[in-house]
Amino acid sequence: MDDVVAKYRAAGNDWKVLNRELNLGSNDLSRDTIYIVKIKPNDPRFRYEMPNGQERGAYPNEWVPGGHTKSGTKEAALIGSESITHNSNLDTLLSNFTDIEKPQ
């Protein structure tokens, strides 16, 4: 993700870079707030697995086998995120993490 974030920043925080690199479907993110949330590697709440396209939040028709997005960006499935209680409240969700950035 560091490479993707670097490309995003180099493009002046252009959301289209995120869309292209992460294959987020045809969503227009121009009016959305974007957060970068870094999860510490030793956070016991989470683990990473090879994605299979069936993860919650996976975009239909965007998954390809092999641990890369269609555009070649490495990806992993974050296992454990479904157990973070947030009651559909963004502030509650973000309160579960300490390294958060809001570039857009």
Confidence of residue 23 (pLDDT cuts 50, 70, 90): confident
Nearest to 59 by CA among 25, 29, 26: 25
Q: What is the domain count for the chain?
A: 1
Task: Collapse the DSSP code of 68 into the 3-class scheme (helix H, G, I; strand E, B; otherwise coil) and give the result.
Answer: strand
Instruction: For tokens 């990473």, name the residue.
Output: 48
Confidence of residue 95 (pLDDT cuts 50, 70, 90): very high
What is residue 24's predicted lDDT score, i.e. its pLDDT? Answer: 85
User: Is the Cα torsion angle 35, 40, 41, 43 positive or negative in sign?
Assistant: negative
Contact 25, 59 (CB under 8 A): yes
What is residue 27's predicted lDDT score, i.e. its pLDDT? Answer: 79
What is the domain extent for residue 37?
Answer: 2-101
> What does pTM read for this prediction?
0.77
In total, the chain counts a number of residues equal to: 104
